[in-house]
Structure 1
Amino acid sequence: MTSRYEEIASNLAIVQDKIVAAAKSAQRGSDEITLIAVTKTFPISDVHILASLNVHHYGENRDGDAAPKASAVPGTWHFQGQIQSNKLKSIASWANVIHSLDELRHIQALDKVAAHRIGVFLQVSLDGAQGRGGAQPSDLSELADAVVGSAHLDLMGLMAVAPLDVSSDQAFEKLALIYSDFKASYPAAKYLSAGMSNDFESAIIHGATHIRVGSSILGSRPSPQ
């Protein structure tokens, strides 16, 4: 029977090979890509395995699950879930990077409760639909200015989730255009967070620097307790 270590190591190697191939096809170096292993609902033991395999960026979307993992395993911890105002103080205590900021009030509140510097991505909606989060492109400047003017937050770039009803290539091509305009005004925002297990190769081809991959590495997600 394959051990959990062997399972994760094998899956990780496949993902890493795909990252190299996608970067090469886009004439980029694979070292430009930060792989975030999405560990939500998986046990701390899996995070320890990832650490032993030299993966040190971990993604979570539930504060209650993430806090004990972040205290147990050193690394760069990314929060990428929907933000609730009453959870911000706790999230700020363990998260090094937050990917899902899309409201001015949350930026202002986060800056007040941050105990350390936090890198932030502004989440942009690619279709205007409610439910998956994201600000309208026309609202990004106001949000970015709030981050730039804050005391504890660093503007890293933009994040997006591809809509379900269009191809990932179409979605990320649109994101690349939005990001190009955004970066012209905010040149220090050097990063683009896009792509998950089913579409990270397309995201890399369209300029993603941070990809958020869970099931392709860790397998089928266990049901939350």
Structure 2
Amino acid sequence: MENTESRNTAFEDIGQRISKAAKASRRSVSDIELVAISKTRTADEIRPLLDRGHRVFGENRVQEAAGKWPELRQDYADVELHLVGQLQSNKAADAVELFDAIHSIDRLSLVKALAKAMDKLDRRIPCFVQVNIGEESQKGGCAIEDTASLISQAQAAGIKVAGLMCVPPSNVSPAPYFALLAKLAKGNGLKGLSMGMSGDFESAIMLGATHIRVGTALFGERSSAG
């Protein structure tokens, strides 16, 4: 009961912070989608948010999402599920079948796999091109200089490119990286910006985020066991 109450309080707090950041940047709060990151969370942990009426969730792995969301969707049919983690090309068909948006297109081989899966399943879902905005070798995302080309390749393959996504370097101010992603999106005629997480989503909103990916601030710290 206590965990449920704390999550309800966190949900309200996040909503207020989103509204405040939107107002400060003279934006409409309706233009900002809160993607509740439910990776590693159980169905019982997720249900309180669903019961509060939230319907947009994000997962990192196809297999994990497939293990809990089909059952949850039996009770909450209008859930919108986003894949925000790296996607292997051999999981493209599973991803297209399960998710309603994909935030991690980062290479041509994945574009081809997703386009083939969408054609086969006759299901078109919006996708974001992930940019390695901090040029970090350990992170996914296409190179900044390859962004325009990958966008064009995805669009040519019949994929709706909704915008760009990034994960800035940690332990530095994310604002310059958010600003760069916004500039890249504008230069390529894209409006969607998937950027900002629990620790920096207000900065992301100020710089144009349309989708913020918040997990820890909503659900609390993960246990050391998982």
| TM-score after normalising by structure 1 | 0.91
Aligned partner of 2:30 in structure 1 is 31
2:83 counterpart (58, 79, 83): 79
Distance 1:131 1:166 in 2: 16
State the partner residue of 1:191: 192
Is 2:176 the counterpart of 1:170? yes
- Alpha carbons of structure 1 residues 55 and 224: separation in structure 2 relative to 1, 3 Å: farther
- Give structure 1 stretches of 5+ with no counterpart: 184-188
Whole-Å Cα distance in 2 between the matches of residues 224 and 110 of structure 1?
Answer: 34
The separation in 2 between residues aligned to 1:190 and 1:168, in whole angstroms, is: 19
Task: Summarize the alignment of residues 100-119 of structure 1 with structure 2, pairs less than 5 Å apart.
Answer: 100-114=104-118, 115=121, 116-119=123-126
Q: Please give the alpha-carbon distance, in whole angstroms, between the structure 2 residues aligned to 1:119 and 1:5.
A: 32
Distance between the aligned counterparts of 1:60 and 1:30, measured in 2? Answer: 23
Q: Is 2:144 the partner of 1:140? A: no
> Per-residue deviation at 1:69?
2.6
Match of 1:157 in 2: 163
C-alpha distance after superposition, 1:95-144 (max 9, x if no partner): 11010111011011111113211110000111211122111222122211
Give CA deviations for 1:137-192 in whole Å, capped at 9, x if unaligned. Answer: 221222112221224x3110000111125301222122222222122xxxxx3211
- Aligned residue for 1:118, secondary structure, equals coil
Looking at structure 1, the residues matched to 39 and 225 of structure 2 have their Cα atoms a distance apart, in angstroms, of: 9
1:19 matched residue in structure 2: 18
Question: Does the Cα contact within 8 Å between 2:185 and 2:191 map onto a contact in 1?
Answer: no
User: Does the Cα contact within 8 Å between 2:128 and 2:163 map onto a contact in 1?
Assistant: yes
- Which residue in 2 is equivalent to 1:57? 56
Closer/same/farther in 2, CA of residues 32 and 138 from structure 1, 3 Å limit: same
State the Cα distance separating 1:39 from its structure 2 match.
0.3
User: How many residues align structurally?
Assistant: 218
**Percentage identity across aligned positions?**
35
Q: Is the 8 A contact 2:90 2:113 kept in 1?
A: no
* Contact in 2 for aligned 1:41/1:224 (Cα 8 Å): no
Shift of 1:200: 0.3
Query: How far apart are residue 43 of structure 1 and its match?
Result: 0.6
Give the drift of 1:224: 6.7
TM-score by length of 2: 0.90
Question: Is 2:132–2:142's contact at 8 Å kept on the other side of the alignment?
Answer: yes
Structure 2 unaligned blocks of 5 or more = none
| Distance in 1 separating the partners of 2:60 and 2:98 | 12
Q: CA RMSD in A?
A: 1.6
Determine whether 1:92 maps to 2:96.
Answer: yes
In 2, Cα distance between the equivalents of 1:201 and 1:36?
14
Q: Which runs of 4+ in 1 moved over 6 A?
A: none
